[in-house]
Structure 1
Amino acid sequence: MQPTNSAFTGNQATDALTEDKVSEIKLALRKEPEVQQLAHSIDERDQIQILEFGKEPAVQISRFSDQILNNMRTTKVEDSGELLKQLGRIMDKFDKKDFEQTSKGFFGKLFKKSEKMMEKLFGKYQSMGQEIDKVYVEISKYQTEMVDSTTMLDEMYEQNYQYYLTLEKYAVAGQVKSDDLKQNMLPQLESKALAGDQLAGMQLDTLRNAIELLDQRVYDLEMAKMVALQTAPQIRLLQRGNTKLIGKINSAFVTTIPIFKNGLIQAVAAKRQKLVADSMSELDRRTNEMLVRNAQNISQQSVDIARLAGAPSIKIETIEESWNIIMKGMQETKSIEEENKRLRAEGTKKLEQLQNNFKQMKLKG
């Protein structure tokens, strides 16, 4: 018979399984008709039935713990470290000096080389933008995987809670049956046996053995239940670590990288316009030496063009700030990942120890 968990669903499944809550659940379950029916289904004369009482949910929780351990071992948190290193190498190519103002004499000396210099600068940041795009795609995939992992962990937490409730029902039902036997049948048989009833004496020995087996079975179910109880906080720790990573990845990378990349594109375009405008101004100045009168109007127009073209839509400070956010995000994400690794290692070790203890108890039982 597989019990349902209709009495404890919804928001209760998301609450922490504290000691007080466990006591409340036990008291409430003793009054449930379903638990009473489970207790009545136990035949104290059938030792095999007693030994296998609650076997199915106990096996399920053991397999479920193995599933959580496997999830810990196959996590891709470590894979993000290489992404951060790759992004760090790309970001190191950014140089604020590439976009600073240059002295006027510079353009006079390098008038013929300005176009080549601009192409070199454009090529550098175009290549940098393409590399950032590749990392951005991988980071976005990683964020999606982390969101999926967090959703899966939430489902696992709910499933773990349902396993716990099922085990609790079997354990409570076994205890109810044991209490009933001790309070009702045992005293009656003891009285008859003392009165010299030999049949009652034989039945008394059988009943005492059944009660002992039932109490041992309840203890085994309690141990299996503790595995589920202690697995719950481990799942929440994994979720909390994932949530921190998702938030950091979104704020430092997914949101900021496109801003930084667009800023680079506009800054390079503004730099090119400035070089062209300054080159035009220099050419006009030399022409004015030969054509003084006509050069006055041309010079004024050139200055206006230079001023108009020299005002970028995005300030270099904005790009620098985006760069700082990304670099800081990489450092903070690395710290979070190190903490997650530590928590996963501790959780894995703890669950493996619980599994070993549970299996040892099963072997002894």
Structure 2
Amino acid sequence: MNGQNASSPIDNLKERLSREPASDIKLALRNEPEVQNLARSIDEHDIIKILEYGKEPAVEISSFSDQILGVMRTNNVEDSGQLLMQLGKIMDRFDKKDFDKASGGLFSKLFKRSEKMLDRLYSKYQSMGKDIEKVYVEISKYQSEMTETTTRLERMYEQNHQYYLTLEKYVVAGELKLNELKTTKLPPLEQEALNGDTMSSMELDSLRNAIELLEQRIYDLGLAKLVALQTAPQIKLLQRGNAKLIGKINSAFVTTIPIFKSGLIQAVTAKRQKLVAESLKELDRRTNEMMSKNAKDIAARSVDIARLSGAPGLKIETIEECFHIILKGIKETKAIEEENNRLREEGRQRLQELQKKYKNSKLQ
């Protein structure tokens, strides 16, 4: 075909399928040597061979649709839902008030409470950080699994396309043979039977039976081809849903959670610095009352210490923003998963119905 590699007829046919009407493709396939050889291989005298014509690709597409159903039945969606619920419970423990400026008071009260407050703060957010890390690891694994599934679906889509093209060739070859039987072999036998030839009458009955069986077989292969055709968009829907999930997981969790964890560490450290600074500031004030001669010098140092220790590297607003991003990601991911679950269920039901029709037609 105009210098194209002889090893890529399927690729050429796929490209034509994407840009030409199905009727034109069928007409083109009639001239394919492979299709003509398939038509010649059909022996109208061998009933068993007619009944098994195209059996291999038909069985393969039926088995392949079961694989798609298997992918639809995976419990990744349910597992991810549990992860999101767990992450949501962890995020509920975050309280912005924990990092607000401590209320003023006497030095003795501030000094006594600060150490206990810091212990509680460290304990709470250290535990929260560990829990987030566990969920983060699981979410990262889930993202990797979704990426792997998407790649596998792409291979399955390609394989499904190959099955469809193979079945199309078998259907066209069967139609060629059917046309040959009806136009070149059937009329002479009918004429001879009308003339009273007994042997011709027997051959005519056999030929009519073969034509009927071949028509039924072509119909069965057409149903199998329909299963392949209906499976393709289901695969693409699964891929699209997975891509949305991967994008949302990456933006809302994989990127944001490490920033949120780092922010927690800095925020707790900043809180400690603020409490120490407040304690020192109050101590300086009381000392200043007792030592008026050194008031200016001590006050200046207190301000310097407060300035140095009071400014955190990461603002609490950034932590709060990360918090809201994660919560928003949980809601949006749940919505995407529910939509994917619905599409999986619809696709599973459609494929099962097609398979039932296909199997019932074979029994008739």
TM range (shorter): over 0.9
Cα distance per residue 1:96-151 (max 9 Å; x no partner) = 11111223336563212212211211211111111100010111111111111111
What letter is aligned with 1:148? E
What letter is aligned with 2:168? E
1:17 Cα deviation after fit? 7.6
1:195 Cα deviation after fit? 4.6
8 A contact 1:61–1:224 mirrored in 2: yes
1:318 Cα deviation after fit? 0.6
Question: Is residue 156 from structure 1 mapped to residue 188 from structure 2 by the alignment?
Answer: no
Separation in structure 2 between the aligned mates of residue 83 and residue 41 of structure 1, nearest angstrom: 57
1:197 Cα deviation after fit? 4.3
8 A contact 1:5–1:166 mirrored in 2: no
Q: What residue is the counterpart of 1:139 in the other structure?
A: 139
Distance 1:203 1:312, change over 3 A: same
Alignment of 1:1-365 (within 5 A): 6-9=8-11, 12=14, 21-105=21-105, 109-364=109-364
Separation in structure 2 between the aligned mates of residue 114 and residue 5 of structure 1, nearest angstrom: 78
1:57 Cα deviation after fit? 0.8
Distance 1:16 1:184, change over 3 A: closer
1:27 Cα deviation after fit? 2.6
Q: Which moved more, 1:215-224 or 1:22-31?
A: 22-31
Distance 1:81 1:320, change over 3 A: same
What letter is aligned with 2:11? T
What letter is aligned with 1:30? R
Percent sequence identity is: 67
What letter is aligned with 2:85? K
Separation in structure 1 between the aligned mates of residue 17 and residue 36 of structure 2, nearest angstrom: 26
Separation in structure 1 between the aligned mates of residue 196 and residue 189 of structure 2, nearest angstrom: 11
What letter is aligned with 1:271? K
Distance 1:107 1:26, change over 3 A: farther
SS at match of 1:112: helix
Separation in structure 2 between the aligned mates of residue 205 and residue 90 of structure 1, nearest angstrom: 78
Cα distance per residue 1:248-271 (max 9 Å; x no partner) = 111111111111111111111111
What letter is aligned with 1:312? P
SS at match of 1:74: coil
Distance 1:74 1:95, change over 3 A: same
8 A contact 1:5–1:162 mirrored in 2: no
Where in structure 2 are there 5+ consecutive unaligned residues? 1-5
1:198 Cα deviation after fit? 4.1
Separation in structure 2 between the aligned mates of residue 107 and residue 175 of structure 1, nearest angstrom: 98
Q: What residue is the counterpart of 2:3 in the other structure?
A: none
SS at match of 2:105: helix
Cα distance per residue 1:67-106 (max 9 Å; x no partner) = 2112212231111111111111110111111111223336
Where in structure 1 are there 5+ consecutive unaligned residues? none
Separation in structure 1 between the aligned mates of residue 325 and residue 186 of structure 2, nearest angstrom: 74
Distance 1:331 1:323, change over 3 A: same
Aligned residues: 359
Separation in structure 2 between the aligned mates of residue 65 and residue 124 of structure 1, nearest angstrom: 50
What letter is aligned with 2:10? F
Separation in structure 2 between the aligned mates of residue 279 and residue 16 of structure 1, nearest angstrom: 78
- TM-score of the aligned structures, taking structure 2 as reference length: 0.92
What letter is aligned with 1:262? S
Alignment RMSD, CA only?
A: 2.2
Cα distance per residue 1:279-325 (max 9 Å; x no partner) = 11211222222222223222202201201211111111111110001
